[in-house]
A and B are shown apart, each in its own frame.
Chain A
Amino acid sequence: MLRPRIIPCLLVHNNGLVKTKQFKEPKYVGDPINAVKIFNEKEVDELIVIDIDASIRKKEPDYRLIENLAVECRMPFCYGGGIKTIEQAKRIFSLGVEKIAVSSAAVENPRFITEMADKVGNQSVVVVIDTKKKTINGTYELYTYNGTKANGIDPFSFVVEMQKAGVGEIVINSIDHDGMMDGFDLDLLFKIRHLVTVPLTVMGGAGKLDDLGAAIAQHGIIGVAAGSLFVFKGKFKAVLINYPTRKEKECFFFKNNFLKENSIDNLDRQ
């Protein structure tokens, strides 16, 4: 039985690991390589690392950092930040990255998604959609360049366009909930879910395991990504890399009705 994926998402800024709040006020939390080593020990499902400087500063991806992270990383590794060309993508794959995440480049040139999928297979092409809720009418708007550029684009129609272009995974991220640890935007997730036929990952706002559980209870096999949840611990948000153990995961899947009907004991074995 395919399981929901529980995914730490690390943000890199000036070569350090940071956490943001609504994409602002990056706060240094540690060294990215050390964080990856700890996540290795915790046997996390997969890892996302985003360089939040790269597209704004229009700089090349930091290949040395990517290579160092990839060498260390014992789980599937998705890297994003500033990737605009096939050459950059190919070079990053050659460093040992399983998936590449694109945001601004997908908005500016949807054909880039098709090109990448043709070259490397769609399973390795991820589009991250950063969204903000418009206070006026409660609709959502897509943002690029690390939440600084409004595009007037509706994320729901953009998702459909990306799937036609051949994307392999969609990550839907709420800028409003980023770093707030007040739960995912389940309304956004619910609205986008039925449009998505590729694997979907929700991000932004998870503050406790139950927040991940709520998304899984609603949507079953889904990716749930979090930054703050796996980097901070306790009321005073001390920096402590953490992640549920295998047993905690199984209990938590069961609690959220995921394993009940689909228990491994019921697997039809040949």
Chain B
Amino acid sequence: MISFPYPALFFISLCTLAYELILMRLFSIVQWYHFAYMVISVSLLGFAASGTLLAALNIRKGRQSQRNMFGLYFLLISFLMLLFIPITFFIAQKIPFSPFELAWQKKQFLYLCGYYFLFLIPFFLAGCFVGLSFIYCKENVARVYCCNMIGSSAGVLVAFISFYWIPPKMLLFVPMLLSFCALLCCFSREGGGGRSVYAVVAATGAVFLSIWIMWGGISLNISPYKGISHCLQLPGARLEYEGYSPLGLLQVVSSPSLRDAPGLSLKYTKSTPTQKALFMDGNANGVVTEFNNDRSSLEYLDYATFSLGYHLVFPGRVLILKPEGETQILGSYFHGYDQIKAIESHRDILSLLKGPLNSFTQNIYNNNQHIQVEASSPREYLAGQNSRYDIIQLGLTGSLGGGGGGIYATEENYVYTIEAFQEYFKHLNPDGILTASAWLNNPPRSFLKLITLAIETLEREVQTEIGLSFAAIRSWGTGTVVLKRGIFSPEDISKIRIFCEKRGFDPVYFSGIHPKEVNKYNILERPLYYDSSIHLLDQDTREQFYAGYIFNVRPPTDDKPYFSHYFKLSAISYLLKTLGRDWIPFLEWGYIILWGTLVQVLVFAPIFIFLPLFFIKKGSKPRMLMKGRNFVFFSLLGLAFMFLEMAFVQRFIFLLNHPIYALALIIFTLTLFSGIGSLSSQSLGKKGVYLPFTAIMVLICFYIFCLDPLLKTLLNCTVIWKSLSAVFLLAPLAFFMGMPFPLGLQVVSNRNSEYIPWIWGINGLASVVAPVLGSLLIVNIGFYPLMFVSLALYLFAFLFFYSIFPKCPQRDQDKIPL
């Protein structure tokens, strides 16, 4: 009989998680993040499929010959993973899939299925490996689960480090190498056909890996519809810089035909300076403007709506938050402010401005005494200091004409929440102003949400009538809101009028505005922004407005920080009636894709749940009852685990500033300590088996009440401290969360080991359904309700476990048979 290759299982688990994250990264570059999410989520059904196959084959660790075959299975699976990881990606790149054409090209669905099928293969193989491990070590499932979890946590670390050091085209080398390591660890003298088979497979794997390295990786075929592809077609376009990190692939393109001036007034008649375009994962991410120490070359920036603030308060200290490139920084510099502080949350962009592009900008971000740029998030920066400013300005949000197609609908954004605006407002000097701008889209949504955000912030912060401290203007493409710490004087109002008149902008609202002023230059069918502002400023009609407006324009809060989420489920029939089926997805791709993914996963789910049952011996009614209980128990566990993971990722983005950092840290902590918890579950006594459930529920209550204050306290710490604190905060919960699954599986395994593959499939299915469902829930109900949902799920799981456990035959009265 072969000795179980725990190192191989560790490497396969490591490889699988690293592969998943790397695939997501590569897919985000060649296509779009949300399509990547959908494709990979559906492909993860490979895990569930592996459970079904193992149940169908009825593989059991029975006879000696069968036992020896396990060695060969492990070896072959590792080898096939090594082969299929690059091959599937290579073939997928040949598929002409274009997500935008899904609405009318039926063959695109065929291509999409091709993607699913291809990417399902590696996950299916990995699932088979882990499932077989559970079957082989059915007496010690906790150890297998521990090895699987610790391998997964290491996978997160490896992928994260790879993003820093390995160029995207070579990234697949990492999971390939890891599967090769697993292959090497599969060596067993007793099993799998002996040394000769092993030597041939290992040598072939080594040759394949070497060929792949010599080939130089896989060149990425970026979609022709991505910003970078368009830009590189411009005359004289040149890719000037390419850098990568976990934040993404940062590229800089130069071309004489590149000109960016967001929402520029139509009354501006002069030229604009030369620029270079920034792209993150192939998507436009602002521009860098050439500066030759001549301020007059920046005059065009005074013809944008965001410049209004500079005409109201001068001189003064300016704070620019999230400048997106450096348009706002140069805008304030043009006006002659001598104390400009800018907070750039994207460290890679800041390094670029201060490094490779410093000659293009005349070193303005390194050596200019008036400008200071710092890498931080707005909330983080303000939490650590008491300075006050005369102008606080936020960069432009949204995209031109909703050009992004709402792909950011489910992205957490803690910069645009009521709590964030309150924080900004508190850092204003008396008579200071806070300004924020958004692209206008049609039907109106993003700027309207900015208006509601401004109004509700003022309501919490000022004692006087809100309308006296609020102003808003719009051009053909952008809108700007201004919140004053104090009230707008008649002189201020006059300045706003002059600013708009000179540039062909329309006022949306200011104290004493006349309806005739609001729809003069940029004519709407009805002055919707003005009408909405009037309704929103009146507390009595505000709720009615939120309820009746076709989109969700309620201001985001820290609990639901989704500024770009406008979709209202209650309005779906109305939207279908007015916009038509083809239009809805384009309003909010990100959100629709989540629903689409959930539907697809649920369509496949019954196959993976019910098919294996045909292969398990039919039994009496109690046995059927047992099946139902098992299904419910393990589904509850999977859902609860993933819901908590989703909730913590959302919350820790607030602390760590970027989804990728939060995702990596949370998955790493949860999997690592769950693995340790799984191992510790072996030593639980009979009475102790209820401990993990109780501990989990108590800890969830603790997080509900204490997490937010703790995160706010930690906000100003260094990254290292933040990360260590996050691990320390989550470790106890993760430790206990790792126990219920092996405990339950062991009970089932002792009773009937035929159920193991089926339960493995259920676990795989839950790990696909739960993240998607969790994302939808958190967007719609927020963080706290999702925590309560998880609490309830664990409570039900506990009740089910209680109903299963006492009936389990015990080998030992004091210990659970592990």
Q: Say whether A and B bind each other.
A: no
Seen from chain B, the residues whose Cβ lies within 8 Å of a Cβ on chain A are none
